[in-house]
Amino acid sequence: MITLVKRRGSYYFLAVTLATLYLYSQSANITTSVFSIAVTFAMPLALAAMVGIMCERTGIVNIGIEGTLLLSSFVAFYVAIAAKSILIGFVAAMATGVAMSLLLALMSVTWKMDQIIAGTILNILATGLTSFFYIQGNMLPSMFKQKPIPGLSNLPFFGDVLFKHGLLMYLGFVVIITLYYGLFHTPWGLRTRSVGEHPSSADTAGVSVSRMRYVNVAVAGAIGGLCGSYLVLELVGSWNRGFTAGKGFTALALMIFGRWNPMGALAAAMFFGLAQAGANQLMINGTVNIPPQFVGILPYVMTIIVLAISAGKVRPPAAEGQPYEKGQS
């Protein structure tokens, strides 16, 4: 089964590579622009999917990703304005993400609540707080600016696509690569996956299931804070009610489509980003004449399609959503 998945992945990668080379030969500037925009669209979805992967790999279902992104972006925006520093806003967003995730861990691990209900509470809490305290007419003192990487930014195609972004974008790539390596090539990753698959066996081997879940969910919250701050401090530069527009829920679909693998989720996010950037380019070129509202609903339509394709073909961590009692078989 694993060999078949890898083989399919290789075929998909080859198909995308050939299509990209053909499009690049036809119009290098447009192709580079579309891929560069796709990366900016994909990064928040990929980071949000990392939140879900971190939680579910350790056995905690987190449907409160949307709430974490919403509240952390809100805090990043208004703290940056109050402190006149986007760096302080970034730190505040990270702390907010950790606080939200620790609340999830408290409800799921310590209180052993139903994890779907716990995540719903986070979403309702974030929506209520941000709607109540939202104030119109505020502007950020600055944003994280584009920082081209010397040498690499001059490469054809890849320079514009990967190496001409802001600090938080680069940090996002580092987080995704580090998480992939950590999950599959370190003792911490082995313990994390064992807690998510067979917590009783991990407990017998001396791994503290509760502590592992608390730590991993807190780290996931920090990644959610990074995602929220990237959205508001580097990508958009403003904030309004419903700012995250369902990205947390879309990320759950990407996580499933990516088979709870950071690289798989990143590839799925790029697929979404390319679809949105391609649709925008078609509208700019006048190739298609459709209302912009249809482009806006494209991610949600694709989410339904992705989930329909993935249904019954992927297996989540065996112990996800299940509270653990020490000594439980």
Write the secondary structure of the chain as one string of H (helix), E (strand) and C (coil): CHHHHHHHHHHHHHHHHHHHHHHHHHCHHHHHHHHHHHHHHHHHHHHHHHHHHHHHHCCCCCCCHHHHHHHHHHHHHHHHHHHCCHHHHHHHHHHHHHHHHHHHHHHHHHCCCCHHHHHHHHHHHHHHHHHHHCCCCCCCCCCCCECCCCCHHHCCCHHHHHCCCEHHHHHHHHHHHHHHHHHHHCHHHHHHHHHHHCHHHHHHCCCCHHHHHHHHHHHHHHHHHHHHHHHHHHHHCCCCCCCCCCHHHHHHHHHHHCCCCHHHHHHHHHHHHHHHHHHHHHHHHCCCCCCHHHHHCHHHHHHHHHHHHHCCCCCCCCCCCCCCCCCCC
Max distance between CA atoms of the chain, in angstroms, equals: 64
What percent of the chain clears pLDDT 90, i.e. is strictly above it? 72
List Cα–Cα distances, 92 to 75, 87, 95, 145, 207, in angstroms.
7, 9, 5, 19, 31
Using 50, 70 and 90 to split pLDDT, how confident is the model at 287?
A: low
Highest mean pLDDT among 20-24, 128-132, 244-248: 128-132
CATH superfamily, domain at 35-137+158-310: ABC transporter involved in vitamin B12 uptake, BtuC (1.10.3470.10)
Q: Give the predicted TM-score (pTM) of the model.
A: 0.93
Domains of the chain, residue spans: 35-137+158-310
pLDDT attached to residue 307? 72
Average pLDDT over residues 283-311: 71
pLDDT, one tens digit per residue, over 166-195 is: 999 999 999 999 999 999 999 999 999 999
pLDDT attached to residue 228? 97
pLDDT, one tens digit per residue, over 114-155 is: 999 999 999 999 999 999 999 998 999 999 999 999 999 999
Statement: residue 328 has pLDDT above 60: yes
